[in-house]
Copies of this chain bind each other. A is one copy, B any other.
Amino acid sequence: MNGGQEKLRFESDYMEGAHPAILERLVQTNMAQTPGYGTDAFSESAREKIRQACDAPEAEIHFLVGGTQTNETVISAMLRPYQGVIAAATGHIATHEAGAIESGGHKVITLPQQEGKISPEAIRSCASAYWEDGNREHMVMPGMVYLSQPTEYGTLYSLREMEEISAICREFRMALYVDGARLAYALACAENDVTLPDLARLCDAFYIGGTKCGALLGEAVVFPRPQTVPHFFSIVKQRGALLAKGRIAGIQFDTLFTDNLYGQIGRNAVHMADRIRAALREKGYLQPMASPTNQIFVTLTGEQAARLAEKVALSFWENVDADHVIMRIATSWATRAEDVDRLIEWL
């Protein structure tokens, strides 16, 4: 299915199965008998390792299946009916979750973004505007801030930004929730200064992405402080987000958090992405977003795009004008150096 004649594929970071260490572990443990629903010893071990990695000994950790599911389950569990969630206009919950948050009853309050990020000032201004408005009881109360780290554009919030946003959230009694679908690619990045313990300290909830970071599937929701959402287990069950064989997620996260695999799994992706970025610069392509992680955005003429499309699958991002498009190139833990060589050659 991926022979030499086949197209190169750089269209996403979830094109393969799982990191070999994970698959091996699933094979090894396959016939072990465990109770269901994440009460097994594998899941408990994974939770303990994540608590340690986050320096959050009290954290409650739940394993869900996918990103959209995790976002809607956590957000609707944490908000009251009259509250909405602030997000970048380009945030995943605002664009590519088919209205999941609204389906759960809540407005996504979108703010203008720059390179996928929203500024502390914009957040403060949105919260202030609500609380200063005499008609606020007829309006949606901002009850949470949603950030993606890295963002949908591959960019990163700095520790300083994250700290400012966290402080604003506490001032206005909004929860801070971070979507870490691609968190491994942030953690592997030299520019990144936000660690797992930082997230645990600054957020009310966040999730550590598995699906796009080497697992078959699975996302680990972390509530750094216990009882943030009482009976969250039942909410997960009700939302259809509870795996009967909870161990399938547990074993994978246990593997990802053994010997710091999660901290390292993104390095290949970032290294390969850096090579592609450098090649693009050298060859004079415009890179409209300064992403330092595993996503690369490049502006192509229609002709360039068509020529490339014959040999390599990229992801269409948006039209710039009649003659130019922005395409996304994604690398992952599984990206092979020889494929990057060929891609660079063809650019």
Contacts and interface: CB of A to CB of B under 8 A. Distances in A.
Given A66-B243, A240-B70, A244-B66, A15 B36 contact: yes
Contact of A1 (B12, B33, B240): B33
B98 A82 contact: yes
B73 A240 contact: yes
* Interface majority SS (helix, strand, loop, mixed), chain A: loop
A18 interface: yes
Contacts of A230: 80
A112 to B, nearest CB: 12
Contacts of A18: 30
State which size class the interface on A falls in: 35 or more
Contacts of A211: 244-245
A134 B101 CA distance: 21
B11 A97 contact: no
Interface string A1-30: 110000001011011111010010011011
Interface of A: 1-2, 9, 11-12, 14-18, 20, 23, 26-27, 29-37, 41, 65-73, 76-77, 80-82, 84, 95-108, 134-135, 137-141, 211-212, 216-217, 230-231, 233-235, 237-245, 247-248, 316, 334
Complex A-B, nearest 7 residue pairs according to Cβ-Cβ distance, in ascending order: A69-B240, A17-B30, A1-B32, A82-B234, A98-B238, A99-B140, A15-B33
